[in-house]
Amino acid sequence: MTLIVDHDHASAASLRSSLGPESVVLPTVDVVEKHLRDHETEHVVVVGPNIATESALALAERLRVSRPHVGVVLVRQRVDAKVLTEALRSGVREVVSAREFTAINQAARNAEELAQRMLAVSGDEHEDAEHKRATLITVFSAKGGCGKTTMATNLGAALADNGRREVCIVDLDLAFGDVAIALQLFPTHTISDAVALEETLDPSAVASLLTQHSPGLRVLSAPVEPGLAESIPVTLVSRLLDVMSDMFDYVIIDTPPAFTDQVLAAFDMSDVAVLLATLDIPALKNLKLSLETLDLLNYPKEKVRLILNRADSKVGLDAGEVEKTLRAPISALIPSSRAVPAATNRGVPIVKDQPNHPVSEAITGFVEQHILPVSAAAGAIPAQLRADRRGLLRRIARHS
C-alpha cells in the first residue's frame, strides 16, 4: 500500500487515481512516521506537489535513518537540477513531474520493489552473517569496435533471465558510453549524479540513479556530456560497486578501451574479467598487451576469460592460432551475424530477441560455463595495492 501526502484534496485525488484506490492519503508529513510505525507493511511515501520541498526532504532524511527500506517519491510541479540534487542528497528515490501520471505510478512500483529486496536482504543477513555479495564482471577490450557494449548488455540480459536474477549494468565508459543507447533507454539520472552523494551513498541513493530496462535488469548510465567524465573520482566508482554488491546478484561493468584509474578499480573489485577481441591483428595485438599489462599488475589469471567475437570471420586466422599466440585459452567463440546489430537497433539484446540464435546460444553457454559457477570475491583488493598498481600503470604509460 502507498501513502500519499498532500493537503490539497484535488491533488491527492489525482495522485490516488494514478496509484490506486487502496492508497492512503495523509494531509501533512508530521503524521507519516507515526502511520508507518502502526502499519509495518507500507513501504512507499509519495509526497504531493503542495507539500513544501524542505518538509519533504526533511522527511526523506529522517526515514533514511529510521526506516531505510521506505521509499520517498517526490512529486513537483516543476523539476529542475536544484531540486533533483537536493532530493538525491536527502535519500528521495525519485522526483517526478506532477503531470507525468504514468511515471508517478512506475516510480512508486520501483520503490516498492526495492523495499521488498532490501527487506529480503536484511532478513537474510539476520539468518546468515556471511551474506553473499554480488558477482562483479568487468568487460574490457583495449581496441574499440570489438563489440564490448553488445557483449555487456547481452551478458546482463542472459544473467537477469527475465527477472530470475537481479542484475545491473554499469557504464564505466564515462566519456562515450553507449549502454543506454544500445538498450534504447532515456535515463533521468547518470553516474555523474552520484558525485554529490559520494559521502552518503547507500542502496536507496544508488537505486534512485538506476534505469530499468526489463525484469531483473537495470542500468547505471554514463554521463550524457563527455566533459563530466573528469568529475567522477575513483573513490566514487569503488563506493558505487561496493554498495551495488549488496543490491544485486550480478553487476556487469562496461568499460572504455583504456586502463583508466576507474577501470582498474573495477578490475580490482571484479570476480571475472572478460577480455574481448576480434580476429584481426590490431585487436589481437591489443588483447596480448592487455594480458601482459594485467600480468604485470599481478592480476589473478584465474579471473580472466577471453572471448573472440565474430570468430567465424574468414580472415586467415583461427582460434587455435590465437590461443597459441596468447598462451591462454579462449573461453567462448561468438559467431558474426547481422541479427546482432538489428536487435541492438531495436534496443533488445539478441539473447532476448532471438534466444535460439547461434550468437545467443554462444553467449548463454559462456554464462553457464564461466559466470554462474563463479563465487563472489571475499572482499576488495587492499587500497594500498590498488594505489601501487595505478602508480605502476602511470609509469608504464609514460615510458611506452
Q: What is the pLDDT of residues 34-54, one digit of tens each?
A: 888 888 888 899 999 999 999
Mean pLDDT, rounded, of the chain: 85
Most confident range (mean pLDDT) of 35-44, 85-94, 157-166 is 157-166
Backbone angles phi, psi at 25, to 5 degrees: -100, 130
- Residue 92 zone, left/alpha/beta (φ > 0; ψ -120 to 50; rest): beta
Residue 315, C-beta contacts closer than 8 angstroms, at least 6 positions apart: 279, 280
At 107 the pLDDT is: 87
- Domains, the chain, in order of start with CATH, read 2-126 (3.40.50.2300), 135-399 (3.40.50.300)
Q: In whole angstroms, what is the distance from residue 108 CA to residue 114 CA? A: 10
Rg (CA), the chain: 23
Summarize pLDDT for 90-146 with one digit per residue, the tens. Answer: 888 888 999 898 889 888 888 888 788 777 665 554 444 345 578 999 999 988 888
**Can you read off the three cell numbers belonging to residue 113?**
520493489
